[in-house]
Amino acid sequence: MFYVVVCPNCKTPRVIEDNVKNVTCFKCGKRLSTKHLRIFFKTDDLREARMALGLLNAKINGKEDEFTCIFKE
């Protein structure tokens, strides 16, 4: 399973795998515990995860305050 998450520190979205416990943000270098990250999108398909990531990036670049509500469960 792949999750699309956003770094709470610098708002950079990324794709992680569900078995990963900790990641280091490649942009700001902050260490993130994945269980505390908000999951914007879940999928078994990496291509789909990347598409969601691209969409999220576009949303963030366009209107940052709206990005938290584009993927509601």
Q: Can you give the binding site for Zn ion, defined by CB under 5 A?
A: 7, 9-10, 12, 25, 27-28, 30
Q: Of the two residues 45 and 54, which places its CB atom closer to Zn ion in the complex?
A: 54
Distance of closest approach, residue 23 Cβ to Zn ion, in angstroms:
10
Q: Of the two residues 31 and 72, which places its CB atom closer to Zn ion in the complex?
A: 31
Distance of closest approach, residue 60 Cβ to Zn ion, in angstroms:
12
The full 3-state SS of the chain, as one line of letters, equals CEEEEECCCCCCEEEEECCCCEEECCCCCCEEEHHHCCEEEEECCHHHHHHHHHHHHHHHHHCHHHHHHCCCC
